[in-house]
Amino acid sequence: MSEGRVRNGPGRTHVGNVPCLLLAMSLWMSAAGATETSRDAETGLESWQADTHGIQVRLTQISPDQARAFYQARGFTPEQAEDYASRCVFMTVVRNIGTLPIEHRLSDWRYVVGDGPPRTLRGKAEWDAVWVRRGVAEAARIAFDWAQFPSTQTFHAGDWNQGMTTYPLPRGSRFNLIVNWHAGDAERRTTLENVRCADETP
Amino acid sequence: MKLRSMMGVLLMTAGMAALAADLPPLSHSLTAQAAQTPAPMLALKDLDDQPHDLGSLKGKVVLVNFWATWCPPCRREMPSMDRLARKLAGTPFVALAVDIGEDADTIHTFISQLDATPSFPILLDPHARIMQTWKISGLPTTYLIDSQGRIAYSAVGGREFDHPEIERQVRALLKP
């Protein structure tokens, strides 16, 4: 198994005052140039991205207010939406930037806080069980289901998908996300390091 | 714009910025499906309550797009799907957009925001049941069905449907 890593620590290079598209972003590139951390100048929200072995994985912070607004607009009560928004929420994008098909299972992903043990992510089925118990309307549950990152999926060249992933961590917490996938017969892994949960107000 | 319509737009777009942040660009090709398995059943009503059945479209090339109004790449790719459909008007090409889990009012609100009303039918799957039949994991997902009712191409994630490469793939299937 091979591993690519996000470097957003002391070794990163700051790229500032660049024109056009990058004006809206503060962008830090790793020394290798393959991975990056960025901050949206307008929203203050941060992203972490790794490009390795034919895959692009990107996490972008979703603010608590954005999560509340999205789910309340789709039929969740404020209390139900708060169950979700109280967690650390990220827009998660996986894209096949190589030539081999990529297969992933969210149950193979792990997040690690400090020196703690690797933990699994809560998937769609577990969330749905929560919403059924809470009496969330069917239409809201359908919207929720499709807004989450898929539990399992195959991406051919050029395919990509997005969805939310959650982590039961306090605001501002940091963690590493270990992403495992298969490309052809090869088992691959990359780690997004030092990812940070959004603050209550970015 | 009427107050109700304005409220609808506000509700539809609430929190959308979170979903739309930093998305990849629309891709420019479809993935060939070597197995060419028969397309599953698809029989749904459109926004005008008119029935549509994929099984009755044998002999035509059909683009089946699964989407929802809250899905940013779905919203981004839909105008290109309309441009392709208009470009291929007069050929045996049919585009069908299947909305997942939403009602007609929500979709009408979305359509009112577009520069042009889609030239293809928008079908409703309010309980998301067809998704299980088609084994779809995420939105948008698109299939190109050949004239014999087989899945010839697929696409997961947003596409620029009127890109020359995709148009070439569609036209190749349209050849007798």
**What are the pLDDT digits (tens) for A8-44?**
433 333 333 334 334 344 444 433 335 689 998 888 9
Q: Which residue has the tokens 């797009």?
A: B65
Query: Among partner residues B12, B27, B100, which is closest to A158 by beta-carbon distance?
Result: B27
Q: Which two tokens stand for residue B4?
A: 């109700």
User: Is B111 within 8 Å of B46 (Cβ atoms)?
Assistant: no
Q: Distance from B48 to chain A by nearest Cα, in Å?
A: 21
Question: What pLDDT digit, counting tens, does each position of A69-92 carry?
Answer: 999 999 999 999 999 999 999 999
What's the one-letter identity of residue B172?
A
Q: What separation in angstroms does the CA of A161 have from each of A55, A175, B16, B146, B159?
A: 12, 23, 16, 25, 11
Closest residue, chain A, to B18 (C-alpha)? A62
pLDDT for the residue B115: 85
Band the pLDDT of B14: cuts 50, 70, 90: low
pLDDT for the residue B114: 86
Indicate whether B98 pLDDT > 70: yes
Q: Do B19 and A70 touch (CB under 8 A)?
A: yes
Q: Find all residues with CB under 8 Å of B111, minimum gap 6, and list them.
A: B117, B118, B122
**Best of A93, A107, A162 to disrupt the B interface by mutation (most B CBs within 10 Å)?**
A162
Query: Among partner residues B21, B126, B138, which is closest to A150 by beta-carbon distance?
Result: B138
Asked: is B3-16+29-174 a CATH 1.10.10.10 domain? The reply is no
pLDDT for the residue B47: 96
For the question of whether the overall pTM of this predicted structure is more than 0.90, the answer is no
Query: Among partner residues A91, A146, A152, which is closest to B21 by beta-carbon distance?
Result: A91
Query: Among partner residues A70, A93, A138, which is closest to B24 by beta-carbon distance?
Result: A93
pLDDT for the residue A15: 33
Question: What pLDDT digit, counting tens, does each position of A116-175 carry?
Answer: 999 999 999 999 999 999 999 988 999 999 999 999 999 999 999 999 999 999 999 999
**Does A99 contact chain B (CB < 8 Å)?**
no
Q: Do A151 and B137 touch (CB under 8 A)?
A: yes
Domains observed in chain A = 54-196 (2.60.40.10)
Q: Which residue has the tokens 């990849």?
A: B24
Cis peptide before B140 (omega within 30 of 0): yes
Indicate whether A4 pLDDT > 90: no
Closest residue, chain A, to B66 (C-alpha)? A146
Q: Which residues of A164-177 are buried (b: 16+ CB within 10 A; e: fewer)?
A: bbbbebeeeeebbb
Using CA atoms, how far apart are residues B67 and A172, in angstroms rounded to an integer? 34
Q: Please state the φ and ψ torsions of residue B163, each to the nearest 5 degrees.
A: -65, 145
Using CA atoms, how far apart are residues B75 and B16, in angstroms rounded to an integer? 11
Q: Do A145 and B126 touch (CB under 8 A)?
A: no
pLDDT for the residue B21: 59
pLDDT for the residue B35: 86
Instruction: Write down the ipTM of this complex.
Output: 0.82
